[in-house]
């Protein structure tokens, strides 16, 4: 006698595979997710919810980030990997417009990485940028006064001329951070890397199609199509919210800058974020 199949009579009882979708979008380390930035503090709770989704079979990361703070990138990467190993769930990363620098580090948290043919991928390097105002101050008759304990405490002060030994010290720090980034990529991509290290780790970016040839990603495709290919046409996507929700009117109080200093900081953060995206023509 054949067993009774309740699922055939009651389709809603069938257990469809579930994929939790978590969006990682914005500059890394620039503040709260609500302001377009990513940090471990802002992402810890959404990550926990993604991996705890009921009947979840995999976690998909939708990544759109030009990078940012190296430490926050590494912290988020490690948290994703720790939870994937704890829950024994596969992680798939999907790069949208850009997954560069720290954005590519986040993509490396995926067991497989996919992108569009025109996505911007890579920038495995470290950069520090700023301005020097010493000549402008001299023309304006402004004198810089700085008092500190510790010979290097005022290193690379933008209102003073650069000192070669300060630049050398910064380059040594950057070299160490760059080596750690390259080690992470080697660990995660392993034998899938198909080019020499001079090409992979020179800080340059490539298109999604080029990234496949270099082994930086596994293939071309979007989240919906790849996940349906992996888990079937009945796969159900559960979007995990990354922005905290506050009841009205508290939402306005939370979102509103508190005073002139906060407004200035908000404007500066917005300009910095705009510059980070502009590096990749976005």
Give a yes or no: residue 128 inside a domain: no
Q: Which residues contact 103 (CB under 8 A, 6 or more apart)?
A: 24, 28, 63, 64, 65, 66, 67, 73, 95
pLDDT at 230: 96
- The residue whose two tokens read 């994937």 is 84
- What is the average per-residue pLDDT within 121-132? 71
Domains in the chain, number: 1
> What is the band of 59 on the pLDDT scale with cuts at 50, 70, 90?
very high
Dihedral angle sign, alpha carbons of residues 43, 46, 51, 52: positive
Contact between 34 and 243 under an 8 Å Cβ cutoff? The reply is yes
The Cα-based distances of 200 to 119, 203, 275 in angstroms read 17, 8, 24
Q: Please give the residue range of the domain that contains residue 247.
A: 13-123+204-278
Average pLDDT over residues 273-278: 58
Structure tokens at 157: 């002060």
Instruction: Give pLDDT tens digits for 12-26.
Output: 546 899 999 999 999
Q: For residues 144 and 9, what is the distance between their CA atoms, to the nearest angstrom? A: 81
The span from the CA of 210 to the CA of 213, in Å, is: 5
pLDDT of residue 259 exceeding 60? no
Tokens of 198: 């001079």
Q: Among 139-143, 182-186, 216-220, where is mean pLDDT lowest?
A: 139-143
Give the mean model confidence (pLDDT) for residues 116-124.
Answer: 93
Compute the mean pLDDT over every residue in the chain, rounded to the nearest whole number.
80
Considering only residues 111 and 160, tell me which one the structure prediction assigns the higher pLDDT: 111
Q: Rounded to two decimals, what is the model's pTM?
A: 0.76
pLDDT band for position 97 (50/70/90)?
Answer: very high
pLDDT at residue 135 tops 80: no
Given a cut of 90, whether residue 264 has pLDDT beyond it is no
Give strand ranges (E) for 16-73: 18-25, 27-28, 37-38, 56-65
**pLDDT for 177:** 80
Residue 183 domain flag: no
Is pLDDT above 70 for 10?
no
Helix (H, G, I), strand (E, B) or coil at 154: coil
Q: Per-residue confidence at 165, pLDDT binned at 50, 70, 90?
A: confident
Residue of 13 and 58 predicted with greater confidence = 58
Does 83 reside within a domain?
A: yes
Per-residue pLDDT band at 246 (split at 50, 70, 90): very low
188: number of Cβ within 10 Å:
18
Residue 229 lies inside a defined structural domain of this protein: yes
Residue 268 lies in a domain: yes
On whether residue 272 sits in a domain, the answer given is yes
CA distance 146 to 153: 10
CATH number, domain with residue 218: 3.90.226.10
Q: Is 7 domain-assigned?
A: no
Query: What string of DSSP letters covers 175-234?
Result: HHHHHHHHHHHHHHHGGG--S-HHHHSSS-EEEHHHHHHHTSSSEE--HHHHHHHHH-TT
Whether residue 231 is contained in a domain is answered as: yes
Q: What was the pLDDT predicted at 269?
A: 53
The structure tokens 């001079």 sit at 198
């Amino acid at each position: 006698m054949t067993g009774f199949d309740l699922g055939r009579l009651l389709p809603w009882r069938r257990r469809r595979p579930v994929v939790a979708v978590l969006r990682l979008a914005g500059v890394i380390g620039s503040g709260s997710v609500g302001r377009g930035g990513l940090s471990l503090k802002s992402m810890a709770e959404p990550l926990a919810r993604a991996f705890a989704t009921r009947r979840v079979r995999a976690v998909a990361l939708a990544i759109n980030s030009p990078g940012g703070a190296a430490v926050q990138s590494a912290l988020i990467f490690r948290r994703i990997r720790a939870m994937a190993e704890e829950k024994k769930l596969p992680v798939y990363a999907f790069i949208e417009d850009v997954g560069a620098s720290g954005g590519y580090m986040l993509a490396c948290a995926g067991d497989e990485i996919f992108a569009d043919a025109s996505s911007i991928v890579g920038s495995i390097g470290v950069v520090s940028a700023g301005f020097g105002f010493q000549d402008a101050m001299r023309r304006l008759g402004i004198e810089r006064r700085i008092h500190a304990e510790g010979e290097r405490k005022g290193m690379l002060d933008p209102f003073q001329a650069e000192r070669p030994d300060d630049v050398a010290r910064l380059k040594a720090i950057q070299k160490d951070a760059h080596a750690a980034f390259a080690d992470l990529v080697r660990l995660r991509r392993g034998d899938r890397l198909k080019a020499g290290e001079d090409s992979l780790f020179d800080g340059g970016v490539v298109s999604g199609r080029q990234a496949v040839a270099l082994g930086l990603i596994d293939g071309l495709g979007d989240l919906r199509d790849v996940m349906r290919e992996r888990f079937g046409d009945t796969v159900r996507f559960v979007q995990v919210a990354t922005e905290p929700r506050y009841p009205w009117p508290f939402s306005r109080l939370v979102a509103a800058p508190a005073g002139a200093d906060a407004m200035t900081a908000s404007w500066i953060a917005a300009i910095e974020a705009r510059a980070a995206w502009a590096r990749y023509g976005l």
